[in-house]
Structure 1
């Protein structure tokens, strides 16, 4: 991903909307810290989110300034649409908050009304404390989702990349199917999926693959292991394809041989619950409604205790360790579904006592009339070997 992946006009429109939102929130400045927010505004995707970085975004037409570690500053200057890229550290260690303090004083943040993002993964607690101490009374808000809410509905150009990611996810799942045979390990199957993704032009996804088999089929987020597939094993896989950071996810159950009756029963309920979610999705619907539609079906079948995962969520052009957006479809959700959103559909049933589990994962684009499913892989148990 870089400033060349979208037109200058699209980036300019994003920046204009973001400045307007900062002003509407009663702020002079927003200190942008989430790598997805920075990526959406500038196109940059350097790995400096591993350390302290931020983008200074003013409500008025002032320079868009990025502060990042010195080892990545050249990449930012080449690939990001920023007016200035300022480095900290480099040949020798430096306190990044000291570098931020210099910028804050130069740009007048300490005498302005400032908001900061407080993302869960990308801001170290001691940096957060130092920022609060430094900004003092100038810090008046922590609108962490301000940028996320602007970017939740994807532009037509973004949806092109999402659809390409979905096609790559389909291909990677087919590649897994070809090697998911008795005698191969879970890691070997996962390796083929990653090979297919990387060879097709995708980058590594923001979150690692889930792949479980046999007695591990009851684990909702089990990573692939050295366990060797045996005849009669069931399995479940969730993979993500990241095309220029835009993510598509896909999940299916597979079976070496004929699926047992109990697994077919569980899988049928999961599939019905996912269908009900997709039928409930349309612009203006509260995000909790598709979740409740799935919950009713799973509970009626007697499996509510096995619903050990969110029913779905918004998908971002993610950075490790997550590709999720703030919108969730689970109990108590307060968001509202809008046209252009990309959502996962994945109501699950995982029964540890029975060593069984089923989850179908599909992505949909919210259209004016409902939900457009992106994958072309049948929503059935995949019988292999």
Structure 2
């Protein structure tokens, strides 16, 4: 007869001879597996700062517990789950950190078994209680933990999985929480993580700088690979390999090409295709890389062969000076409206642009969002402060709407100005 494995069983000595049993394998813990794995970690003080900041916000909102998700989508990029644990998720829509106002936090991770053991090693500096979801039963696992903590009647806040699109925990998980905790108050919250991430710590900024090196390496690899006869997707492969080789993760690689003599592209292709590069093409791109969850972005047009006069003029008289005007506004105390006004340069000079001119970065693209027509920001981000990360990314477009040039670099707002996190030249690059 097989032994019954309870939800919290799975200690190594109990399961090591029964690894062919699903229950034993999936609930294992305390194994010697991955004991030699090495992960760069934030300091204990940094993680304490993060949990203290979240709990202060919870007290302000009257929450006894918070469920903090994070997923693999661009608008989440790990979200609060990554911020609190160091784990970036790719197996599930989201994983969740249950944070009580008092007591130990719990990461409910998508997988069990060896996957979960590896994750325990990965997050060891931040959190020690890591539990598998038992095949997607996230809410059931969190109910058990809340009961262990005596929080059956707590006011529990649900943070967004995807704050940009305001998506929360799936309905089935919420329903399970409500049925399993009939006396608890389950409330949806909005914007907590972005507020906590709007201004970065010293350790976080070091990761942004490293991400800047990664996107520069990706740009350099793309330029090196850009030759007639090469399909667009191989530019993506070259840029992606440079990011991975540098120890980072790929956020997005938007790359497209069009003939300079007969253009039909204002922005890079979010889905790089099998189109083969030809002499006389121009490549538009926006590349984003992540280092330990913190992203930097970059983009600058690349020509295959010498550009015609009208393309060079568009760069020298429109794209480059328009970007420089926006970058010059980046300093502490500046209002985001200053960035928006700088973008009026394009219409004043007889051209148009994509609507978006600049945005902030917390873990990934987020507020403030500066458009040609208006600027949108929460009260805490309307004025630039040291530690904020801003991505000016004007994309001027010719009056006929057929040729655009995306130009973007990532900046850290400092005490006396702004620091660009890459050294890629602000030039119209020619790849012969």
Settle same-fold status: TM greater than 0.5.
Answer: yes
2:10 pairs with 1:10: no
Aligned to 1:202: 247
- Whole-Å separation in 2 of the counterparts to 1:302 and 1:137: 62
Structure 2, unaligned stretches of length 5 or more? 1-36, 71-77
Helix, strand or coil at the partner of 2:251: coil
Aligned to 2:258, which of 187, 210, 213? 213
User: Which one of the candidate residues 94, 99, 104 is aligned to 1:63?
Assistant: 104
CA contact (8 A) 1:211 1:238 kept: no
Residue by residue, what CA displacement relative to the aligned partner does 1:125-169 show, whole Å, maximum 9, x if unpaired? Answer: 434652674467844643332122222222222222222221232
* SS of aligned partner of 2:415: coil
Contact 2:222 2:239 in 1 (8 A): yes
Q: 1:210 to 1:141 in 2, by over 3 A?
A: farther
1:54 to 96, 116, 122: 96
| Contact persistence 1:288–1:334 (CA under 8 A) | no
Q: Secondary structure at the match of 1:209?
A: strand
Q: Point out the structure with max Rg over C-alpha.
A: 2
Structure 1 unaligned segments of length 5 or more: list them: 318-322
Post-superposition shift, 1:194? 1.9
Instruction: Give CA-to-partner distance per residue, 1:217-248, whole Å, 9 cap, x none.
Output: 32354432111111111121222232333222
Partner of 2:149: 107
Cα distance in 2, alignment partners of residues 140 and 224 from structure 1: 43
Cα RMSD (Å): 2.8
TM-score by length of 1: 0.86
- Tell me the residue number matched to 1:153: 199
Q: Distance in 2 between matches of 1:136 and 1:329?
A: 43
Aligned residues: 371
Corresponding residue for 2:282?
A: 234
How far, CA to CA, are the matches of 2:177 and 2:376 in structure 1? 29
Q: Which of the two has greater helix per residue? A: 1
Q: Which has the higher contact order (CA 8 A, sep 6+)?
A: 1
Match of 1:290 among 333, 339, 349: 339
The alpha carbon displacement at 1:36 in A equals 2.4
Please tell me whether the aligned partners of residues 212 and 219 of structure 1 are also in contact (alpha carbons under 8 angstroms).
no
- Identify which of 392, 413, 430 aligns with 1:366: 413
Q: 1:309-324 maps to which residues of 2 (within 5 A)? A: 310-317=356-363, 323-324=364-365
- Which residue does 1:37 correspond to in 2? 80
- Distance in 2 (alpha carbons) for counterparts of 1:17 and 1:3: 24
- Counterpart among 188, 196, 219 of residue 142 in structure 1: 188
Alignment equivalent of 1:275, drawn from 314, 317, 324: 324
- CA distance in structure 1 between the aligned counterparts of 2:40 and 2:305, rounded to whole angstroms: 47
Pair 1:23-2:59 in alignment? yes
What's 2:222 paired with?
Answer: 176
Compute the displacement of 1:108 (Å).
Answer: 4.2
Deviates more, 1:343-352 or 1:125-134: 125-134
- Relative to structure 1, the CA distance from residue 157 to residue 124 in structure 2 (aligned partners, 3 Å threshold; closer, same or farther) is closer
Residues 327-355 of structure 1, C-alpha deviation per residue, up to 9 Å, x if partnerless?
32332412322211122110112459553
Give the 3 Å change call, closer, same or farther, for CA 241–69 of structure 1 in structure 2. Answer: closer
- Whether the 8 Å CA contact 1:347–1:359 is kept in 2: the answer is yes
Aligned residue in 2 for 1:300? 348
Q: 1:78 and 2:78 equivalent?
A: no
